[in-house]
Amino acid sequence: MGDWHVGIGDPTFLGWFTVAAYAATALLCLRGFRLASAPVPPTRKGILAARMRRRFWLVTAVILVALGINKQLDLQSLVLNLGRTLAKSEGWYESRRAVQYAFIVGVAVAGTAAVAALLWLFRRGGAWVRLAQFGLVTLCTFVIVRAASFHHVDMMLGKDIGFFRLNHVLELGGIALIAVGAVGGGARH
C-alpha cells in the first residue's frame, strides 16, 4: 500500500473547513430532497420534475458525504499507490506519462459526457438544480484530476490566488455552487 496509512489526510484549518463544507452542503441537499418530496401539482410534468429533483438532491448528498470522508482518509492516495505498484510490477511504470495523458483525456471526455447526461436527466429540475449540477461536475472533475497526482497538475493547483491555493478555490467553489443551488432550490417550495 506504499506510504498510505489510515489517518487524517489534511489536518489543516482549510482541510477541516472543507470537510465541514462537504457535511453542511450534504445536509442542504438532504433538505432539498425533503422539500422536493412536498406535494406537487398533479400533472405528469410536475410529478416528473419533483421526482428528478428528489433523486438529484439525494444522489448529490451521498456523493458529498463520500467526498468529505475521502478528504480526510485520503483514499485516492491508496488507489494511486496501488496503481504505481501495479505499473512497476507490470513493467510499464517508465512509460506512465502516456497513461497519465490518456487518463486526463478520459477524464475530460467523461466530464463532458457527465455534464450532458446530468443536463438531460435532470432537465426538469430547474435553474437551481442546473447550478448545483455545474458545481457537482466541477467538484468531481477537480477531485479526479487531483487524485491523479501528476506533478505538473499538482504545481498548477498549488498556485496561490490571493490567500488561497487554486485547489482550495476549485474544491470549495464547487461545494459552494452546490450549496447555493440547494438553498435556492429549497426556497422556491
pLDDT score recorded for residue 157: 62
Which residues fall within 8 angstroms of residue 164, CB to CB, at 6 or more apart? 14, 172
pLDDT score recorded for residue 186: 67
Are the beta carbons of 97 and 44 closer than 8 angstroms?
no
pLDDT in tens, 161-189: 667 777 888 899 999 999 999 999 865 54
What is the C-alpha separation between 125 and 129, in angstroms, rounded?
A: 5
Least confident segment among 93-97, 107-111, 134-138, 146-150: 146-150
pLDDT in tens, 97-137: 787 778 778 877 887 887 788 778 777 778 888 899 989 98
Mean pLDDT of the 140-155 span = 70
Grid coordinates belonging to 137: 461536475
pTM reported for the whole predicted model: 0.78
pLDDT over threshold 90, residue 29: yes
pLDDT score recorded for residue 46: 76
Grid coordinates belonging to 154: 499538482
Q: Which residues pair with 58 in a beta bridge?
A: none
pLDDT score recorded for residue 42: 79
